[in-house]
Amino acid sequence: MSITASTSAPLGTAPPRVLTIAGSDSGGGAGIQADLKTMLALGVHGMSVITAVTAQNSLGVQGYWELPAEAVRAQLRSVVDDIGVQAVKTGMLASIELVETVAELLADVDAPIVVDPVGVSKHGDALLAAEAVATVRERLLPLATLATPNLHEVAQLTGITVLEEGEMRPAADALLALGPRWVLVKGGHLPGEATDLLAGRDGEEYWFRAARHDNRHTHGTGCTLASAIAAELAKGQELPDAVAAAKEYVTGAIRAGFALGAGIGPVDHGWRLRG
């Protein structure tokens, strides 16, 4: 059965609908929780398919438990068959079985798909089984409208280690060869400005730069950026404009990030509400 965006609701009665397929962060800074906060802040209706439950706080991930594939399948079908989606974002998928399940389901989705190929947490804890990386490359990335890897994930997916800005374009080309329509290589781990490269299959290239803020409380940055892009796509933005708007939102969220617990606190998803 094909899954398509629902257009039955009269205009103005419901905001655009965005589905996140990701893990739950019990500390509230990343994962499903960050995705839904971002979507609310950007004026879309967020819906969720939970793939795993983590025990997680500001100090790290103490454990995670995958949901059965049938639970993931049932959640997605329940949402899209009744409500419909106008954009999808994927995050933590944990295992080969869950990556395969999600890829199978998304193959019939008629909406932009933003793939955040989550490999490790902010604290360095593994969130994707090593044996599942090949499945992400082969099954999920070819479905992506946009993939949003950080530099660690670039190396995990391509074997290319990016140490300076000039190496970002070859890395983007290697990722594009795996099938996504667009790739956003996030250079946040490089020195200097926070610089990201958006590259397209047809040779398009856009650079996004922002001042780097001296704030260690950056938990949830990747989830937030990918969700913000999905939200802007659901609102009808062209992809480069969606990335620009999302970059501006996440930069503000990083600037306003706050201490929580004894470790790394989250970005502030509601920073615009607090002036």
The residues annotated with a catalytic role in the active site are 186, 218, 220-223
Angle CA 27–260–216, to nearest 5: 105
Strands 146-147 and 194-200: unpaired
Which residues, in sequence order, are CB contacts of 257 under 8 Å at separation 6+?
Answer: 215, 216, 217, 218, 219, 265, 266, 267, 268
Strands 194-200 and 205-210: antiparallel
Residues 65 and 56 sit within 8 Å (Cβ to Cβ): no
The Cα-based distances of 28 to 56, 218, 265, 269 in angstroms read 9, 13, 10, 11
- What's the token pair of residue 36? 């839904």
Cα dihedral sign, 158-163-165-166: negative
- What's the token pair of residue 60? 């790290």
Grouping H, G, I as helix, E, B as strand and the rest as coil, residue 169 is helix
Strands 3-4 and 109-110: parallel
Nearest to 49 by CA among 5, 81, 12, 10: 81
Cα dihedral sign, 114-22-151-137: negative
Angle CA 266–270–274, to nearest 5: 115
